[in-house]
Structure 1
């Protein structure tokens, strides 16, 4: 049996999930999810306590910890990273960072069975965090590298123009600023969908099984735009 705890505060949503996997049994997932802008510090650790209590799992029984490593809200990423690193270090368990954009793609795929997805998050300052994905039976394959860029430069990967694409995430509130060919290629846009710890747990448990867990201090947030604080101060 493998028991993994995941937490996320990378967007306006705050979430925690416990996933229990054992051979020949369906995965058991217990989760909490709440839209809680500016309340991540107050809500995240209580959510962790709630999922552990509901599952009847003591922290020492965890095999690994995971968190949404970004890209996303700088403050939220630091809150989640601090909580996850503290848990993993205190329990001497491996830590895994999960891409927010990949988790968002998995969420849309699991709930709606979409196969070709462009996940985009509003990065502020006239930019979006974005990546393109191909999904199949719970697997999420990247079709390009995650990037931060102006919405005017968001284009589909070459050779994939004929697919039925769906846009997911807050970045799609900027759809009218995107290239015309990108807008036309989208059959649907779900700008109000946020990433969740439940999907991060599903991605992380596969990575953990593949031996990708790391020491707590080795797993850092992914900001994509490291100079944002300096630019804001100018």
Structure 2
């Protein structure tokens, strides 16, 4: 991995996660804190930097979770990224939430074929299929989509010729939320071990992107929602 110094920020799901690569060492903090990202993210970053005796101007860039995931969480993470990057004049790189989870599966369990599925609410899942390349980076083999769970199987049969006799590994909250529709599409049984993305996995992907000169200016940090519109359904009697 690159010897450059990077800060990683992710608040795209129920998890709040930060990581730091500084002077060849990697440290990280991870918390499950639904609806508390705006309160926890900056203190976590501050703690990480202080413990490493690292200042923002010593960094070479910031890597951020671009989504898909919680609309509010993604915006919080990108807002913090932009604020820090502007103040220290740092380039930024966005990393997909779904790709990061696939990368975790490769790093932790050696899984080279992964379907990520995150509960997108409104009876839908955010999903993507990934395979490891020659550099051990999980690469998307389909566009990331938001789909009704009942259509996911046919989607992967059509797009990647999913072999039901040689199933990939599954990560994310979608598998348990929509078990009846999705369980048959992964080889690991039950609720996945990996439910949320971790900043350390984003570091691996983001560092490669920086090495390929893909860093951009802070003002260009943008969320990837996948779902273009949100419709709210009133409950009966409301």
Verify same fold: TM over 0.5: yes
Shift of 1:169: 0.1
Secondary structure of 2:213's match?
coil
Where do 1:205-216 residues align within 5 Å? 205-216=207-218
Q: Report the number of matched residues.
A: 223
Could you say which structure has the higher strand fraction? 1
1:187 aligns to what? 187
The two structures have a TM-score, normalised by structure 1, of 0.89
**Which residue pairs with 1:232 in the alignment?**
232
Q: What is the DSSP-based 3-state SS (H/G/I as helix, E as strand, rest coil) of the residue aligned with 1:224? A: coil
Distance 1:148 1:191, change over 3 A: farther
Residue number in structure 1 paired with 2:202 = 200
Contact in 1 for aligned 2:12/2:77 (Cα 8 Å): yes
In structure 2, list runs of 5 or more residues that go unmatched.
none
- Stretches of structure 1 lacking an aligned partner (at least 5 in a row): 22-26
Q: Does 1:163 align with 2:166?
A: yes
1:24 corresponds in structure 2 to none
CA deviations over 1:138-187 (Å, ceiling 9, x no partner):
31121111001111111324334153411110111212124xxxx43421
Which secondary structure state, in structure 1, belongs to the residue aligned with residue 160 of structure 2?
Answer: coil
Conserved in 2, the CA contact under 8 Å of 1:109 and 1:115? yes
Within 5 Å, which residues of 2 pair with 1:1-234? 1-20=3-22, 27-135=24-132, 138-155=136-153, 156=156, 157-161=159-163, 162-173=165-176, 174-178=178-182, 183-188=183-188, 189-190=191-192, 193-228=195-230, 231-232=231-232
What is the CA–CA distance in structure 2 between the aligned matches of 1:124 and 1:220, rounded to whole Å? 22
Structure-2 separation of matches of 1:225 and 1:164: 27
Residues 95 and 233 (structure 1), Cα distance of their counterparts in 2 relative to 1, 3 Å cut: farther
